Structure 1
Amino acid sequence: MATAEDKTPPGIPPDLGHLRTKEEMELYYRNCRLSMPPGLRIPMASGLSFLAGFTLGTAKGGKSAGLRFRAEHAHKLPTTTTGWFLYHKSKNYQVAYGGVREGFKMGLKICFWSTATFAIEQMFDSYRGTADLLNTVTSCVAVAGAFSCWNRFSLPMTARTTKAAVVAGLVYGGLQDLLGVARGRRIRYVDWIKRQLGSGQREQPAQQ
């Protein structure tokens, strides 16, 4: 029967086998965006985006349903107490139904496009072998283009949507990179800038 010592990788002392595994896990999490692996980060982003869309859609749908109900019944307002009770009861039902229906519609839409953005970002991370703001900007622009085509935007509207996607990608990707650098994650362009600054500082004393 195999023991814990038999499962220790070759070249690693048996008493350090668990420590090595823990260090590898810490390194893996540190190298992930927001210190979360894709299997956790993408579903969490999808859930939060659905919740945000559902909240906004419920508020918008409920307000629209209430205004529509008032417009449809403006010519036949009740005149009795019982009539007003039934009027408000029906109105509240329509507001709740319209809000929930619009909430699910908007929540699913935002969830779909947000999930696509994070999935494409992860795809570029895996393809390039690094996670930086370039992949975030690329995924945002790709999803913005698909969103514009799906909604058949005009060229000026598509251009504005793309510009907004570039800004969002730069801001969100930049914040991720800042957090990653703070936690010790290696980022290619940051390492390149450090090398350039380091070589410049070494050249100055040599010239003096």
Structure 2
Amino acid sequence: MATTQIDSSPPSLPDNFESLQPDAQTTLNKPSPDRLGMPFDRRLLLATFTSFTCGTTLGYLSTSRLAALRFRAENAHRLPISQPGWYLYHKSKNYYKLKHGITAGLRSGFYLAAWASIFFIVEESIDVFRGTWRAGRSLTEMEGVSELDMKKVDTGVQRSRDFLSSTVAGMVTGGVWSAWNKFPVVTAARTIRLGLVAGLGYGLAQDALTWARGKAGVANDEESWIYRGAKNRRKVEDPVEEVKLKE
């Protein structure tokens, strides 16, 4: 009866395996050019989730407190006179608070998440527009993005991720907010100015974080958790290291 032999030799490596290692190391150590070190979709998802959580929490706390005061005012003329009555009174008040607080909290969360998404979308759109402008797009020759050199477009977008786009995004969001609520001219101007200051502060904070990451060498520091995590992951994916771990 024929027996099947199992090949226990380690897997073969490509001929250019050694030449690929420096490129992989360079890619690993290269810091991310995106804002906050995250791509746009992840940054938008994180901002939406954070703003939704904050809006829901603040809306629930504020509305539930007002609902409790309203319940107390509406039932001030028929306060209970016994211990079971007070128990039912507070139980009914808690249900009243939950009913109005959860509804208003979810509404505030969705509302705040929508406006935060508008800010981040406008910010990314301005980055892309400035990047295509740096790549050769002009008013006289409105070329499509597909007609431009994609390397120049990527480089231009990376160079355009600064506080200027955040400031303009804050102004645009303040203007849209004023138009949505139909503010008068004086109130709209004050709201746009507030959006400008908030966008400028947020943009400078992002630039400071990017400068600090590059100055501290986060992507090149062997003691950082980013480098150690990627290094350990590469060891597991490396065929030679995987065979050594099995032995």
TM-score (norm 1): 0.76
Give the structure 2 partner of residue 66 of structure 1.
68
Cα gap change, 1:17 to 1:65, in 2 (>3 Å): same
1:22-55 deviation line (CA, Å, top 9, x unaligned): 534654x521111111121110111111111111
Structure 1 partner of 2:125? 123
How much does 1:19 deviate?
4.3
The correspondence for 2:167, drawn from 122, 137, 146, is: 137
Q: Counterparts of 1:19-168 in structure 2 under 5 Å?
A: 19-21=22-24, 23-24=26-27, 27=30, 29-128=31-130, 129=157, 130-168=160-198
Match of 2:149 in 1: none
User: 1: distance between equivalents of 2:162 and 2:34?
Assistant: 11
Q: Which one-letter code corresponds to 1:175 in the other structure?
A: A
Deviation at 1:82, TM superposition (A): 2.3
With over 3 angstroms needed to count, the CA separation of the structure-2 counterparts of 1:22 and 1:109, relative to structure 1, is farther
Asked whether the 8 Å contact 1:57–1:102 carries over to 2, the reply is yes
Q: Matches of 2:127 and 2:28 in 1, distance apart?
A: 19
What is the correspondence of 1:189-200 to structure 2 with a 5 Å cutoff? none
Larger Rg: 2
Superposed CA deviations along residues 100-157 of structure 1, whole A, max 9, x for unmatched, are 1111111111111011111111111122121011110111111111111111222222
TM-score scaled by structure 2? 0.65
Which amino acid in 2 is paired with 1:40? R
Greater fraction of residues in helix: 1
Whole-Å separation in 2 of the counterparts to 1:71 and 1:134: 51
Q: Is the 8 A contact 1:69 1:91 kept in 2?
A: yes
Structure 2 CA distance, aligned partners of 1:120 and 1:154?
Answer: 24
Preserved contact between residue 47 and residue 111 of structure 1 (Cα < 8 Å):
yes
Residue aligning to 1:173: 203
Aligned residue for 1:30, secondary structure, equals coil
Unaligned runs of 5+ in 2: 1-11, 131-156, 216-247
CA distance in 1, matches of 2:97, 2:120: 34
Which sits farther off after the overlay, 93-102 or 133-142? Answer: 93-102
1:75 counterpart SS class:
helix
Count of aligned residue pairs for this structure pair: 176
Pair 1:26–1:96, CA change in 2 (3 A): farther
Q: Percent identity?
A: 36
For 1:156 and 1:182, how far apart are their aligned partners in 2? 39
**1:10-21 equivalences in 2 (<5 Å):** 14-17=17-20, 19-21=22-24
